[in-house]
Amino acid sequence: QVHLVESGGGSVQAGGSLRLSCSVSGIIFSKYYMTWFRQTPGKEREGVASIWTDVDSAYIDSVKGRFTISRDNTKNTLYLQMTDLKPEDTAMYSCAAAPDWKAPRQRLRDLEYNIWGQGTQVTVSS
């Protein structure tokens, strides 16, 4: 069975930092594109950051320079280091996976991914 389990969420004040983790099992992790998404009630899910290799990653404009996505293929784990957090970053953050034989054409588009975790809540107060 495939499992994606997120952790590391919490409540922080604006300007603070959090590091999210996504532990993956049941797939050959290194052969999957991995992406972090976030969603708030009443809004569409938004792709935040995506990674294939250390030199192949993508971010939405609103987090560039503040968030860093990384992966450790030896630990089957995806990370999202978030700094200078803002209240508008408040959301449920989920990780998602897409296999390399079905590489996403649009890396931050949720319909490109078919394996999802349950999510971890991030709340940023002003």
pLDDT in tens, 61-113: 999 999 999 999 999 999 999 999 999 999 999 999 999 999 999 999 999 99
What are the b/e assignments for 62-95, b being 16+ CB within 10 Å?
ebeeebbbebeeeebbbbbebeebeeebbbbbbb
Q: Give the mean pLDDT of the chain.
A: 97
pLDDT of residue 68: 98
Percent of the chain with pLDDT over 70: 100
State in Å, rounded, how far the first CA of the chain is from the last one.
40
pLDDT of residue 113: 96
pLDDT of residue 74: 98
> Maximum distance among all alpha carbons in the chain?
43
Neighbours of 3 (CB within 10 A): 12
- Please give the angle made by the CA atoms of 4, 104 and 2, to the nearest 5 degrees: 20
pLDDT of residue 16: 98
pLDDT of residue 101: 92
Nearest-angstrom CA–CA distance, 44 and 93: 13
pLDDT of residue 126: 94
> What would the mean pLDDT of 14-22 be, rounded to a whole number?
98
> What would the mean pLDDT of 22-38 be, rounded to a whole number?
98
